[in-house]
């Protein structure tokens, strides 16, 4: 299994509070991604990174920010959590930009915003 961990695995928070989710990889892969999974929507890309300090927006980036100060860590921050951000969040990594390469997924973080 690819070495990807996510923390925390579960979190319950209140509306308006900041939340940071962490993705850590031991594979030294260049690309890292944050997705959210919601019923009927599959996975939707929030943000991705193509190197240290290099990030870009995905399909559903509003209300989220990311940072990547080291190759191995990719942080997702909800500056002020809302109930619509209740979801399961997955981190993924990829070795190359070529589309034939698969993405490896972490175990997920279940976030509940009350």
What residue ranges bind other proteins (CB under 8 A)?
4, 31, 33, 40-45, 48, 50, 56, 58, 90, 92, 94, 96-103, 105-108
88/98 Cα distance (integer angstroms): 27
Residue 1, token pair as written in the block? 């299994």
CB of 114 to other proteins, least distance (A): 22
Kindly report the length of the chain: 114
* 3-state SS class at 84: helix
Residue nearer to other proteins on the CB measure, 57 or 77: 57
Q: What CA dihedral angle connects 19, 25, 29 and 33, to 10 degrees?
A: -30
CB of 90 to other proteins, least distance (A): 6
Residue nearer to other proteins on the CB measure, 18 or 51: 51
CB of 108 to other proteins, least distance (A): 6
């Amino acid at each position: 299994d690819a070495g990807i961990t996510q923390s925390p695995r579960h979190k319950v928070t209140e509306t308006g509070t900041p939340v940071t989710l962490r993705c850590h990889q031991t594979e030294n892969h260049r690309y890292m991604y944050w997705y959210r999974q919601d019923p009927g929507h599959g996975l939707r890309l929030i943000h991705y990174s193509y190197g240290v300090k290099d990030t870009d927006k995905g399909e559903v980036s509003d209300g989220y920010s990311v940072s990547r100060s080291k190759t191995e860590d990719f942080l997702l921050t909800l500056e002020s959590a809302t109930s619509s951000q209740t979801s399961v969040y997955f981190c993924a990594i990829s070795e190359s930009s070529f589309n034939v390469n698969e993405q490896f997924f972490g175990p997920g973080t279940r976030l509940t915003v009350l």
